[in-house]
Structures are given as structure tokens and as C-alpha cells.
Structure 1
Amino acid sequence: MTTPADLLGRALRRDAAAPLVTQYDDATGERVELSGTTLANWVAKTANLLQDEFDVGPGSRVAVALPVHWQTAAVLLAVWSCGATVVDTAAEDDGGLDDVDVVLAAQDRVPAIEEQGVDDLLGLSLHPLGLGMTGYAGSARDFALEVRVHGDHFAPYAPVEPDALGLRVAGLELTLTGLVAAAEQLADRLGVRDGDRVLITEDSAAEAGPVVWLLAPLAVGASLVVCRHPASDQLKRRADAEGVTATLGVGLDGIRELGRPATS
């Protein structure tokens, strides 16, 4: 039975050197591009960090309080590689963290989470070069500093159970294999195709959720162009430069919009 970690493995076997996730941020001017190999390296390091430092494995619950971001993609795939459950708090709701084992949060959300008395907390600066948090003096551990010392290859200590819970968000629960099945169904429904280069904006991806913005493209062999804080006048130029073949949640002239019927 296929799990989310297997989807990344498929991408590596297909073309490990090809761009898999490319991210723009118009608020900072950054552009970050990750091949399948580079993303897999981040996933392995993150999974090793979670397993070795926080005992994350099957049955563990990991809260993810992160925006749509390439580092979020690595974190999600790492949690699933450990066979653990992602508790998605991306909707800016930091309540209900009493029953989780570890929290990974964007730096701007760390103080509010610390007030809940969370013991195992990793803060992410989300810096484009992978640098650590600045101007922070709390007790949270710094993801960027911690992750770099961990291994480039990951093997779970305990076998991953495909039928174990993989995602809990807004009352919805999906197993690890259920995540893949849902991703494949959504890819088919939206019209994502093998080889597509899919442009998504931060807002549309956050609304759709990680099964749509991350797993559905992976499930069918597509790659991603993520636009954070997008300047509307830049999107078409970005799409042309990146060879975008489809968009999600944004209409651009001459490019197929996923989930919308074709027009003649």
C-alpha cells in the first residue's frame, strides 16, 4: 500500500534532478528551487531530527503550524515518513495542542504556542537560505540549527503502518494510504496531469489544504511553482519563465486552470 513517502520516491525515480518545488516570495524577492533530490534530502534530515530528538514514530502526533512553503512540504513529508500523524494548524488556530507530541511552528507563531506550555517546540524562521531564527530568546529549539546536523538518509526505527492515521485537520481524519488515495482522486477531479508544472498561490493553496497543493501533484508526477505574497502583475511572467502548464485557484491567460472546464 502506498504512503505519502512513496510518492516522493516515485518522483526521485522519475527524474531526481528535475525541479520539483520552486518558490517565489514577492514580499522578499526570493526564489528557491528544489529538485527531487534536494527536497528528499530536507525530508530525510527533518525525519531524522524528529525521530532522534523527539521520538516521533508510528502513533506520534505532530502539530504543523506553518504557512504554505517549501519547508512545510519537507516537514509534512518527514512526519509521514516517520509514520506519524500531522495535526494541521495552518489555519492560524493554535488551540488544542494538549494532545500532540511536538509542534513545528513559524517563528511569528511561536510566542502564542509557548504560552500554552508546549514542551517540545521547534521554530522555523522560513529563511530562504535556511538560516535560523533572529531576535528570538525563548525556549523553542531552532529548526534550522537542529536539522542541519542530521543524516541525509532516513530509515524509520519502527515499521510504518500504512493504515495508521496520517492527517487530522478540522474534524477530518485520513490514514497514510487514505492520503494517497485522496490525492489521486483529487488530481483526477482537478485535471492534474503527469508532467504538469502547476502554479499555486499561497492563499489558494492554504484554502485547499496539503492533500491538494502537495500530494495531488506528487501523486501524478507533476511539479509545483509556489507563489507567496504574490504580486498579480508578476504571475504571468513567472508562469511563462517556469514553463507552467496549469494553475490552481488563479486564472492566467492561455494557461489551463485546474478544476475549471475547458473553454473553446
Structure 2
Amino acid sequence: MSLTVTDIRSAVLARTDPAQPYVTYLGSDGRMELSGASVINAAAKIANALTSEFDCDPGRRIALHLPWHWQRITWLLGIWSAGCVVVPQGGADCDLLVAGPKQASELTGNVIVVSMHPFGLPLGPDDMTALPPGAQDATIAVRAQPDQQVFINDYSDALALDGLSQRQLLERARDVARPLAGVTRLGLHQDDSQWWLPALWPAVTGGSVILGQSFGDGFGSEPVDAVL
């Protein structure tokens, strides 16, 4: 990884070993681990879909209504790779609303729905019938995209989240990582106050995050070096 990289896509690509884990998700439906290479591939497909399928040019505001899940990480990185702005829990005034099946039912506007299937498969019949009118299955559009990002730019100074640029978010992630030098497997419990941390910690450290559920559940037999 490089301390001089200032745009998020490049920071993820700068990890020295893409075969190493990026995120491990521990959910009620089991354990799912994604390598750096898998995350890079998913983010590229999402960025391509945002540009080609959902008309999201750089600077567009994308509301994110995804639960604590590995999909939240890939969508954050895909949105930033496309130069767009993440608006956590944003409303219909955003250019696009990205939601999980449970979250989508109460949303209005331009809504696309991301499957929470452990392996990222498209929505099932029950989920499809529960979607609000006009909502689309984002998973189908994303899976059809090329594995490499088509339109690439340096978005270091583009707004990313909460009025901060990509450069500033990466600096925040490095500030969090600095006192935890040597930690390669960081355990995280659900915390929506820092949406960016699970996506960016692995990018700036070369390590991985383990997404647990409640504080009481811990991380089971999953090894962690530190917990935030």
C-alpha cells in the first residue's frame, strides 16, 4: 500500500497482495470472506453499472440504505470509484437510492435493490414481489458488467461522504490505523457513525476487517488482532 495515494480506487489497488482477505462477514446466514481481488472486481462492476446502466456521472449523489454486510463495502468502493458521493440514508432528492430488500420497501424515488444473498446472487421471487413500484434488481445489472472498470479517473478531490473528499477520507482512515500499527485483522461491530471505516481500513493498512453483529455475539472462533 502507498501512503501517497489520494484517491480511493488507487488505494485499494495499491494493496501488495490482492489474494489476502479484505473483508470477512459474520452474519446469521453464515460466514463470507472476500479477498482484495474479489472486492476490486466487485467495485469495478458496480462502478461500470452506475455509469452505464443507472446514468450516474461523477458528482451524482447516491443514497445508501444497505445493512451491515459485505455488500455495503463493495458498494461504497464502487460508488467512489465512479466519482460519486455517498449519502447515508439519503432521500428521494438523491440521484439514485441503493437499498437492501428490507430497506427498499419504504423508499420512494429512483430505487435499485441489492441482494443480501451470501454469495451475491440476484433477488429471489419473494424479494422481487415485495419491491416498491419501479425498483430494479441492481444485482443483475452489476453481474453483467465487465470485470475491469471502463471509465477511470483520479477522484482525489471529489466529494465522497459527509462533505469530505476522497483524499480526506483516506487521511482519516490512516489516522485511525496509525495507533494500531501491526494490526492486520480488525474486528468491527455494527456502527453506522463511521460508514467509511470498514471499506477503507483494508485499503490503507493492507489488512482486513471482520464484520461482527452485536457486541454480545463477539466474533466466534474468527481470529482478530484488535476490536473497534
Q: Flag whether TM exceeds 0.5 (same fold).
A: yes
1:128 aligns with 2:118: yes
The equivalent of 2:58 in structure 1 is 58
TM-score by length of 1: 0.76
Shift of 1:10: 1.4
**Which one has the largest radius of gyration?**
1
Q: Which amino acid aligns with 1:42?
A: A
- Which consecutive unaligned segments of at least 5 residues does structure 1 have? 249-264
Q: Which has the higher helix share?
A: 1
Q: Aligned ranges for residues 35-184 of structure 1 at < 5 Å? A: 35-89=35-89, 96-98=91-93, 100-114=94-108, 118=109, 120-134=110-124, 135=126, 136-137=128-129, 138-156=133-151, 159-168=153-162, 173-184=163-174
Give the alignment's Cα RMSD to 1 decimal: 2.0
TM-score by length of 2: 0.87
SS of aligned partner of 1:34: strand
CA distance change for structure 1 residues 229 and 123 in 2, over 3 Å: closer, same or farther? farther
Q: May I ask how many residue pairs the two structures share in their alignment?
A: 219
The equivalent of 1:224 in structure 2 is 209
Shift of 1:107: 0.7
> Could you tell me how far apart the structure 1 residues matched to 2:189 and 2:166 are?
26
Q: Which amino acid aligns with 1:246?
A: A
| Residue pair 1:192, 1:222 contacting (<8 A) in 2 also | no
> Could you tell me how far apart the structure 1 residues matched to 2:24 and 2:220 are?
15
| Residue pair 1:3, 1:179 contacting (<8 A) in 2 also | no
The equivalent of 1:238 in structure 2 is 222
Q: Would you identify which runs of 4 or more consecutive aligned residues in structure 1 move more than 4 Å? A: none
Identity %: 30
> Could you tell me how far apart the structure 2 residues matched to 1:180 and 1:210 are?
13
> Could you tell me how far apart the structure 2 residues matched to 1:50 and 1:73 are?
16
Q: CA deviation digits over 1:187-232, x for unaligned, max 9?
A: 22xx233561111122xx324x123332134212221111235762
Residue of structure 1 aligned with 2:17, choices 4, 12, 15: 15
- Which consecutive unaligned segments of at least 5 residues does structure 2 have? none
> Could you tell me how far apart the structure 1 residues matched to 2:116 and 2:54 are?
21
